[in-house]
Each structure stands twice: as C-alpha cells, then as structure tokens.
Amino acid sequence: MESYSLYLHIPFCRSRCSYCDFNTYAGMEYLLNDYSDALCREIEFIADSLDEMIPAHTIYFGGGTPSLLNPKQLDKILNKIHQKFQVSKDLEVTLEANPGTLNPSYHKDLHCTGINRLSIGMQSAIPEELRLLGRSHNIDDVINTVKWARQAGIDNLNLDLIFGLPGQSLEAWQHTLELALLLQP
C-alpha cells in the first residue's frame, strides 16, 4: 500500500507578516487548545472513515506558527495520529518554527514528543529586510534556535529564506546565504 504524508495546518501567529498569503490569525493564541482538540477529532474522523489503517511516513506541522503549540498539545496530536494511522518506523515529523518563539527547554520537550525536524523561518539575515517582512526576530534568534535544536538532539533542520524582496541587493542576498550556510542546515 502507498504511504502518505500528513499535513496539519496551525493557522495562528503572534503577528501577521506582510508577505503572508496563508490562512492565519494573529493574536488568537487563546484558541490553540480548542484548535488542537478539534484537530484530534478531525484526525479520528478521517481515519475512522477509511476502510483500513493507512500508512504515513511524514507528518508536517505548517502554518501559521506551529511552534506556538505547547509540547503537551503537540504530543496529544501526535499520539492521536499514532493511534489512527500506521506510522513508519522512520517517521519524519516536521514543525515549522519562527526564531524568537522558542527556548532551550521547548526544544528538549519537542524532541521528547517525536518532533525530529525543524523548518526554521529565517527569511533573511538583514535587519531592514526582516522589518519589511514584518518579522520580529533577528539573526541572533536564528543562531540560538539552530543551536538549541541541535543541543536537544534535533539535527535535521532547514532554514526558509526569501529571495527577490523589493530593493534587495545581490550583496544582501549573498550575506543572508553565507550566514545560513554557516549554520549548516
């Protein structure tokens, strides 16, 4: 039987970035617990409507800012998936994360839930570009996020970058790329 990837959209953000066209809601984090409960019910509904337990080889938490979910909420969602889907023994579980929304203990708790890959929204290393994008982090936040992930045992990570911003010079893009490469994503 074919193996599937599961995408779970977490549509909450602390603030809306100027470039974002995704279904997201800023300043509504108070709904995260209700949303994670509803997501568990949806997982159960979908799985129960199938004739058999289907295999899954990847789970991807996208958004929005999925790293706004606390580890307990993530664990609850992942446990429901493990109950209702035949998950691969080498399952990849990715969480999109915004630098500046995480701390060392959060990374350790993430690793304990089974999250084994981070997709980090670096976007740029240039402060003016980050302001243009409406991002609240800086390059130090990116460096710390990568360091804390690796310290927690999450070595599989990528850095999301944005190219072609209004007024972006090739020198600025090269600087962003060089800093990203130094972090060895």
Q: What is the number of domains present in the chain?
A: 1
CATH number at residue 77: 3.20.20.70
Confidence (pLDDT) at 26:
75
Report the pLDDT value the prediction gives residue 91, as an integer from 0 to 100. Answer: 94
Beta strands in the chain (DSSP E): 4-10, 12-13, 25-26, 55-63, 86-97, 117-123, 156-161
Residues of the chain with pLDDT under 50: none
Q: Is the pTM of this model over 0.85?
A: yes
Express each pLDDT in 33-62 by its tens digit. 999 999 999 999 999 999 899 999 999 999
Give the pLDDT score at 20. Answer: 62
The DSSP call for residue 11 is: -
Give pLDDT, residue 101.
84
Q: Smallest Cα–Cα separation from 136: which of 10, 13, 5?
A: 13
Task: Specify the pLDDT at position 112.
Answer: 93
pLDDT of residue 12: 80
Query: Which pLDDT does position 21 carry in this prediction?
Result: 67
Token pair for residue 12? 């909450």
**pLDDT recorded at residue 63:** 86
Helix H or strand E segment including 100: none
Q: Quick one: pLDDT at residue 46? A: 93
pLDDT of residue 31: 86
pLDDT of residue 179: 96
63-87 b/e with 16+ CB inside 10 Å = b?
Answer: bbbbbbbebebbbbbbebbeebbeb
Domain span at residue 14?
A: 4-182
Please give the pLDDT value at position 13. Answer: 74
